[in-house]
Amino acid sequence: MKETGLIEKKNTIFSKIKNFISNLFNKKEKEEEKEEYKFNNDNDFKQRIIVEEDKEKTRLLNLQQEFENGNIQEEDIDEADVEKLHKLYDEQIEEINKQTEMYKEKILKIKEKLNKSAN
């Protein structure tokens, strides 16, 4: 009976050349696959991050603009829209307050640095 264990290969110059050439061609194929995969991933990512415009918010912003310009009166606006406008104003006020706090913190940090450098 013949032994079926692992057979030790001898690293000859021809086997090294053969391995080098096969590795060279395999790398090109792998690089092409990676580029194709990257291209597909980029397209998927772009499609996933497309932000769809909120039509209701756009409508409310237009309504707000018309109201502020004096083109329409509060009596002309539906009660549901008035409530939505109140919420919109509250959101905008809250956002302005957050930005104001951030600017205050920045100013205080700058002031602190100036005081340290003056001393």
Q: What is the pLDDT of residues 1-60, one digit of tens each?
A: 455 555 666 677 877 787 777 777 776 666 666 666 665 666 666 666 666 668 888 899
Q: What is the pLDDT of residue 100?
A: 97
- Residue 108 pLDDT > 90: yes
Q: Residue 91: pLDDT above 90?
A: yes
| Residue range 69-78: mean pLDDT, rounded | 90
Classify residue 4 by its DSSP letter.
Answer: -
Gyration radius of the chain over CA positions: 34
From the list 88, 89, 94, 64, the residue with the least C-alpha distance to 77 is 64
- Residue 82 CB contacts under 8 Å (≥ 6 apart), including other chains: 74
Beta carbons within 10 angstroms of residue 86's beta carbon: 10
The predicted pLDDT at position 16 comes to 78
| Triad 43, 48, 50: Cα angle to 5° | 100
What pTM did the predictor assign? 0.50
Cα 118 to Cα 20: distance, rounded to the nearest angstrom:
66
